Amino acid sequence: MTLTGQLYKLQQLDLELQRKQQELSEVEHQLSDNKALVVAESKLASHKEQLEDVRRKQKSSEWELEDLQEKVRQIDSKLYSGTSKDPKELVNLEKEVKGLKSQIRPKEDALLGLMSQVEEIEANVKTTIEEIERLKREWEQRQVTFGQRKSEIEALLARLKRDRGVLAQQLDSEALNTYERIRLTRGQAVVKVERGKCQGCHIAVPTSQWQKAKAGDLIQCNSCNRILYLG
């Protein structure tokens, strides 16, 4: 293989290494990404907090209602037991019981409202728990799938690095330095010449250079400095 052929092969290995590194970081991201689960868990926590709050309100509303009903019962029994004969007192008691009774209906409505809120939040809690279970299953599945993919890529990367090391050792050190230097600034250091043009900058390559490059000499493009390869 010519020198430029070796450099071209080195570049292919480098590009493949880059792609695999990129793939590896994507896979690692997939393995660690649990944003959806974190969001669902915080949603559950807030639903539970809400539920506790509304249940507390429901309890105190029930107590208030029982209290009212108890007061009404007591006054009613006073009214109808005949223990009080004082008409003025009876009128006052009737007024009082009427007032209390008028408070009962709105309290009952409020209680019903709270009860339906509790039901609604309980349904939300249930849905969110199901969602969390599903996300956990997906997470576990992802760990298996992407865990396997990760090992595959790592093995591939190790092989590519080894191959690259072997090839780099065979290469003339000056040529290797030139390659590395151009790679740093240009990304791609070795480019093909097609229809007489450098494929890095698309400017025509002089025939004399073209011929030398064809023979395998390390020739750099006059305009973009890249190494010309005619495979």
Binding site for Zn ion (CB under 5 A): 198, 200-201, 221, 223-224
Residue 163 CB, shortest distance to Zn ion, in Å, is: 28
Residue 153 CB, shortest distance to Zn ion, in Å, is: 33
Residue 4 or 200 having the CB closest to Zn ion: 200
Residue 68 or 201 having the CB closest to Zn ion: 201
Residue 13 or 191 having the CB closest to Zn ion: 191
Residue 181 CB, shortest distance to Zn ion, in Å, is: 15
Distance between CA 134 and CA 136 in Å, rounded?
5
Distance between CA 209 and CA 212 in Å, rounded?
5
Name the 3-class secondary structure at 170. Answer: helix
What's CA 70's distance to the chain center, in Å? 56
Contacts of residues 70-76 at CB distance under 8 Å and 24 or more positions apart, as own/partner, are 71/100, 72/97, 72/100, 72/101, 72/104, 75/100
Residue 136 CB, shortest distance to Zn ion, in Å, is: 54
Residue 197 CB, shortest distance to Zn ion, in Å, is: 8
- Torsion, Cα 31 163 16 26, to 10 degrees, reads 10
Residue 41 CB, shortest distance to Zn ion, in Å, is: 55
Distance linking the first and last C-alpha atoms of the chain: 10
Residue 36 or 201 having the CB closest to Zn ion: 201
> Which amino acid is residue 148, in one-letter code?
Q
What does the block give as tokens for 88? 């003025």
Residue 98 or 202 having the CB closest to Zn ion: 202
- Confirm if 21 and 157 have CB atoms less than 8 A apart: yes
Residue 121 or 189 having the CB closest to Zn ion: 189
